[in-house]
Amino acid sequence: MSLLHDHISKSLIIFISLFLGSTLFVSAQFGTTYGSQGGQGDVDYGIPIEYTIAGIDVVGAEFNDKNALINISGLKVGEKITIPGEGISKAIRKLWRLGIVGDVQINVAKTNGSDVYLEIVLKERPKLSKYYFEGVNKSKAKTLSDKINLVRGRIVTDALIKNTTNVIKDYYAEKGFKNADVKIVREQDPTLANAIQLRIEINKNSKVKINEIQLNGVEQLAEKKVLRKMKKTKTKEWYRIFNPSKFIAEEFENDKNNVIDYYNKNGFRNASIERDSVYDVNEKLVNIEMDIEEGKRFYYRNITWTGNYKYTDAQLAQVLGIKKGDVYNPEELQKRLTFNPSGTDISALYMDDGYLFFNVNPVEVLVEDDSIDIEMRISEGEQAYIDKIIINGNTKTSDHVILREIRTLPGEKFSRSQLIRTQRELSSIGYFDPEQIDIQPIPNLAKGTVDIKYNLVEKPNDQIELSGGWGGFYGFVGTLGLVFNNFSIRNIPNWDMWRPLPAGDGQRLSLRMQANGRQFQTYSVSFTEPWLGGRKPNSLSVSYSYSIQRQYNNAGNFFVTDLSSQSETGSLGIHSASVGLGRRLKWPDDYFVMNNSVTFQSYRLRDFISTGFFDYPTGDSHSFTFNTTIARNSIDQPTYPRRGSQISLTVSLTPPYSLFSDKNFSEEGITNEDRYRWVEYHKYMFDNAWYQTIIGNLVLASRVHMGFIAPYNQDKGLGPFERFILGGDGLTANNFLLGTENVGLRGYENQSIVPIEVENGQQRSSSGGVVYNKYVLELRYPVSLNPAATIYVLGFAEAGNNWGSYAEFNPFNLKRSAGVGARVFMPAFGMLGIDWAYGFDDVPGRQDVSGSQFHFTIGQQIR
């Protein structure tokens, strides 16, 4: 019994000691001290007594207003307070939360009867005067400054130091530097009272990479495929260039979700990661271990429909496309219900017929063994009709230019597909940033209508081409081009619409001049009205150009300095004028357009000795050509297309003059001047391009180009005009060879792929080919999709060739090349490009391979 009594006594003593200790600890944490410094009525701390505050003094406040501190504490002279009691503790907490004091006590200075005089004793925290970094360069210091956001004059607290340290560590952790060291040293500012400087010492250490990823429990799926779903969490391998290994905690969490999503897509609806561990191998490497519980693979069994009146169960099941026994995939199910980019979905079936308020909710009604029964609960709602069209953001483009591209018209039934099509049309006209086109349906359930708001962001789309240099013997080389893509003839009298020219009606005006001294000059002007008359998309285009190429007796001798002594030995001048009409077609679908034009060209040759013109150096030739183009364009946007295709077929026909002539062109007496006075041919051009998103914004672009030209009369022949020449960037002005169809082929010099003719045992370049084909495969990835400067890089492989006769034509005998490049689209300058390519085959007339070539391009080349 005595032992039990002793044990209880000891326990009681320990309990009381712990209680008193914890009480004193809490009191110390708040910095509260009660005491009497003389006077009548000493405080008895064992008995709470109510006093009236007769006075309050503040001790230690050198840089802060004492009255303000008293007000913040909540204590007021004349108020009642109980000592000891909650009032004092509450006042201390208020001062502490202010953050400007590092220590605070409230003492009883004296008592006088029922009056008490209080004294607030505090220690002020210093303020920040400045901070600086050690261990990083100026650029990185600026980045870190923006992130930590320290302001001069801010009170320096332990929380501020800790938060700053964490922000910097988190920044480096996001870059893969998991073990970055950050030390913040407080230094007294010698120039300011109660102010300190912060020296932030940073050692980012080595980037932490992943040595090994161990997956436990992966049995029903291939482990390599599971690891592949971890997009940003990769082991260290020598071949990882574009996605190097680095451990980032946030990306690891995202990748764990990607793994579970992959399991869910393959029917494992209960898959989970039971445990994961990240542990250091050394200061540069970590290992990752994950325990995966796969669970059972599930399959669809019965799919039933409720609430559907518009369509039958069979019709909905056919659109859904999921059958009994298919692997259960919630993500794919949701796509086929709401938005299926590769086909029709249930929502589109309803919303394209006006059912804007349609809703479908798939519910798992039974899970049995490995089978799941789904009930599709449908709410069809009423059909909605479009009430108002609201356009915002068009500061330059007139409303009617936008309205004529909109497929959702007031009074018509709502259609989701027409909404998507409208977005594509607004992107294609090039006046608005396609990344920021925001379409908002605003439904009105009470009226059964919907307003559609189009929020647009104008982007600059006028272009200037300005370049210049010195071309040796030929002197100044320069180009000036102006393209106004949103021109307005109607607003010419309205000076307020000149920006710098009248704009807003969607017309296109192009002016261009190019010169290489006197050797080569070209001038052109063109105008296009896309909606002739304003009611239908019938376009009108007119253009005129004049080009001249001259030859000199010392052409190519760059050491000649007396230019006045050089005489002109020959020239080729071309006048060209054309008028075209185009219209949109509704068959086979409304992505098709047809353009018809007539072109007149006049060729004036004077002793012009050049490739293809050896047999016809002097004469005047003319051509009158009728051109028809049928094209289909379904790409989502012109600058960086991600999906869709472009296809065009162009037929060019001249009148068959020789069939109506009494001349026999097989006779020897016919001169080439008579033979080619009127140029005649029939010509066919085919171009096709496909764009497909691989993943994210990575796009595969593939193209096919073909061209054929033939004479009506074999005795008369084609002559040197309008033939095909391949090589380089495809720009005519590089070697100034006029009158030909120039087709680019990277990896080979400009206009170098020309069929070789043999005459009197000597080889020479021909006038060009009569048939060509070309194939291109590009993989594109955007660096920036900002409309002010769209930038993307690309890798490509292409092949093509050119033949002088149909008998020689072999579509598999191609000149191959591969390389890399970049494109920069700036609204003011258009598309600028640079490519490096390696040509794997020889150039006609040479024995060695083409090899390494650089190409610069201006404008978006079609072929």
Asked if omega into 588 is within 30° of 0 (cis), the reply is yes
Task: Using DSSP bridges, classify how beta strands 463-470 and 476-487 pair: parallel, antiparallel or unpaired.
Answer: antiparallel
CB-based contacts of 189: which residues, under 8 Å, 6+ apart? 129, 130, 195, 196, 197
Q: What is the pLDDT of residue 38?
A: 33
- The fold adopted by the segment(s) 209-293 is Ubiquitin-like (UB roll) (3.10.20)
Task: Using DSSP bridges, classify how beta strands 49-59 and 115-124 pair: parallel, antiparallel or unpaired.
Answer: parallel
For 443, phi and psi rounded to 5 degrees? -80, 150
The two structure tokens encoding residue 284? 């540069």
pTM listed for this prediction: 0.67
Q: What is the pLDDT of residue 528?
A: 95
- The rounded distance, in Å, linking the Cα atoms of 171 and 184 is 16
Q: What is the pLDDT of residue 704?
A: 96
Return the amino acid letter for 56: I
Task: Using DSSP bridges, classify how beta strands 771-784 and 815-826 pair: parallel, antiparallel or unpaired.
Answer: unpaired
HEC-encoded secondary structure of 690-718: EEEEEECCEEEEEEEEEEEEECCCCCCCC
- The rounded distance, in Å, linking the Cα atoms of 766 and 772 is 14
Same fold, 22-124 and 385-455: yes
- Residue 87 three-state SS: helix
DSSP state string for 411-454: TSBP-HHHHHHHHHHHHHTSSB-GGG-EEEEEEETTTTEEEEEE
Q: What is the pLDDT of residue 115?
A: 87
The CATH architecture of the domain made up of 299-379 is Roll (3.10)
Q: Say what percent of the chain tops pLDDT 90.
A: 49
Identify the band that residue 759 occupies on the pLDDT scale cut at 50, 70 and 90: low
Strand partners for 817: 798, 839
Contact 293, 271 (CB under 8 A): yes
Q: What is the pLDDT of residue 7?
A: 41
- The total of other beta-carbon atoms located within 10 Å of residue 830's CB is 19
**Homologous superfamily, domain 22-124:** membrane protein fhac (3.10.20.310)
Q: What is the pLDDT of residue 312?
A: 95
Q: Of 3.40.1350.10, 1.10.10.10, 2.70.70.10, 3.10.20.310, which CATH number belongs to 385-455?
A: 3.10.20.310
Q: Residue 763: CA atoms inside 13 Å, Cβ hemisphere, count?
A: 6
The two structure tokens encoding residue 434? 């396609």
Query: What's the farthest any 2 CA atoms get from each other in the chain?
Result: 147
Identify the band that residue 34 occupies on the pLDDT scale cut at 50, 70 and 90: very low
The two structure tokens encoding residue 393? 């953001």
Q: What is the pLDDT of residue 648?
A: 96
- The rounded distance, in Å, linking the Cα atoms of 609 and 259 is 69
Best CA proximity match to 711, nearest among 662, 678, 743, 740: 678
Identify the band that residue 763 occupies on the pLDDT scale cut at 50, 70 and 90: low
- Residue 134 three-state SS: strand
Does the pLDDT at position 560 exceed 50?
Answer: no
Residues 571-611 have pLDDT tens digits of 889 999 999 999 999 889 989 999 999 999 999 988 887 76
Highest-pLDDT range among 74-88, 613-627, 677-691:
677-691
> Which has more pLDDT, 570 or 615?
570
Residue for token pair 């190097």:
244
Identify the band that residue 639 occupies on the pLDDT scale cut at 50, 70 and 90: confident
**Least confident stretch, 80-94, 255-269, 315-329:** 80-94
Q: What is the pLDDT of residue 239?
A: 82
For 771, phi and psi rounded to 5 degrees? -150, 140
Identify the band that residue 112 occupies on the pLDDT scale cut at 50, 70 and 90: confident
Q: What is the pLDDT of residue 466?
A: 63
Identify the band that residue 357 occupies on the pLDDT scale cut at 50, 70 and 90: very high
Identify the band that residue 46 occupies on the pLDDT scale cut at 50, 70 and 90: low
Contact 607, 613 (CB under 8 A): no
- The rounded distance, in Å, linking the Cα atoms of 655 and 314 is 58
- The rounded distance, in Å, linking the Cα atoms of 190 and 193 is 8
- The DSSP H or E segment spanning 825 is strand 815-826
Residues 709-740 have pLDDT tens digits of 999 998 888 888 889 999 988 764 444 456 78
Q: What is the pLDDT of residue 41?
A: 42
Residue-averaged pLDDT of the chain:
85
- Residue 496 three-state SS: helix
- The total of other beta-carbon atoms located within 10 Å of residue 617's CB is 16
Q: What is the pLDDT of residue 493?
A: 86
Contact 364, 376 (CB under 8 A): no
Q: What is the pLDDT of residue 26?
A: 33
The two structure tokens encoding residue 413? 């039934």
Q: What is the pLDDT of residue 735?
A: 42
Residues 291-339 have pLDDT tens digits of 999 999 999 999 999 999 999 999 999 999 999 999 999 999 999 999 8
Does the pLDDT at position 398 exceed 60?
Answer: yes
Exposed / middle / buried, residue 402 (Cβ in 10 Å: 0-12, 13-18, 19+)? buried
- The rounded distance, in Å, linking the Cα atoms of 643 and 777 is 15
Residue for token pair 């607290």:
157
Kindly list the distances between the CA atom of residue 459 and the CA atoms of 153, 486, 783, in Å, as whole numbers in the listed order: 43, 11, 19
DSSP state string for 806-822: TTT--TT--EEEEEEEE
Identify the band that residue 792 occupies on the pLDDT scale cut at 50, 70 and 90: very high
The two structure tokens encoding residue 328? 């259960």
DSSP state string for 275-313: EEEEEESSSSEEEEEEEEE-----EEEEEEEES--SS-H
**Least confident stretch, 58-62, 323-327, 448-452:** 58-62
Taking the C-alpha atoms of 558, 561, 566 and 570 in order, what is their torsion angle to the nearest 10 degrees?
Answer: 30
- The total of other beta-carbon atoms located within 10 Å of residue 773's CB is 23
Best CA proximity match to 355, nearest among 393, 329, 382, 327: 382
Q: What is the pLDDT of residue 33?
A: 39
Does the pLDDT at position 49 exceed 60?
Answer: yes
Best CA proximity match to 713, nearest among 759, 654, 764: 654
For 533, phi and psi rounded to 5 degrees? 90, -20
DSSP state string for 718-733: --STT-EEE-BT--GG
Q: What is the pLDDT of residue 462?
A: 79
Contact 638, 428 (CB under 8 A): yes
Q: What is the pLDDT of residue 612?
A: 61
Contact 363, 375 (CB under 8 A): yes
Q: What is the pLDDT of residue 190?
A: 86
Q: Any idea what the Cα angle at residue 700 is, between residues 694 and 701, rounded to 5°? A: 155
Quick one: DSSP state of residue 207? P
Residues 117-164 have pLDDT tens digits of 888 888 778 888 889 999 999 889 999 998 998 888 888 888 889 999
- Residue 604 three-state SS: strand
**Least confident stretch, 460-469, 513-522, 681-690:** 460-469
Q: What is the pLDDT of residue 211?
A: 94
The two structure tokens encoding residue 269? 């609806």
CB-based contacts of 488: which residues, under 8 Å, 6+ apart? 398, 497, 502, 503, 504, 505, 507
Contact 593, 584 (CB under 8 A): yes
- The fold adopted by the segment(s) 585-863 is Porin (2.40.160)
Quick one: DSSP state of residue 746? T
- The DSSP H or E segment spanning 224 is helix 223-228
Identify the band that residue 19 occupies on the pLDDT scale cut at 50, 70 and 90: very low
Strand partners for 132: 199
- The rounded distance, in Å, linking the Cα atoms of 78 and 371 is 78
Cα torsion 693, 695, 699, 702: sign: negative
CA-based R_g, the chain, Å: 41
Quick one: DSSP state of residue 557? -
- The rounded distance, in Å, linking the Cα atoms of 563 and 574 is 25
CB-based contacts of 131: which residues, under 8 Å, 6+ apart? 150, 197, 198, 199, 200
Which whole number is the average pLDDT over 469-483? Answer: 63
- The fold adopted by the segment(s) 127-203 is Ubiquitin-like (UB roll) (3.10.20)
Does the pLDDT at position 44 exceed 80?
Answer: no
Kindly list the distances between the CA atom of residue 435 and the CA atoms of 16, 282, 639, 781, in Å, as whole numbers in the listed order: 71, 45, 11, 16
Contact 39, 111 (CB under 8 A): yes
Identify the band that residue 467 occupies on the pLDDT scale cut at 50, 70 and 90: low
Return the amino acid letter for 716: K
Query: Contacts from 550-554 at CB under 8 Å and sequence distance 24+?
Result: 550/518, 550/519, 550/520, 551/519, 551/607, 551/608, 551/609, 551/610, 552/473, 552/519, 554/473
**Domain boundaries of the chain, sorted by first residue:** 22-124, 127-203, 209-293, 299-379, 385-455, 460-581, 585-863
For 427, phi and psi rounded to 5 degrees? -70, -35
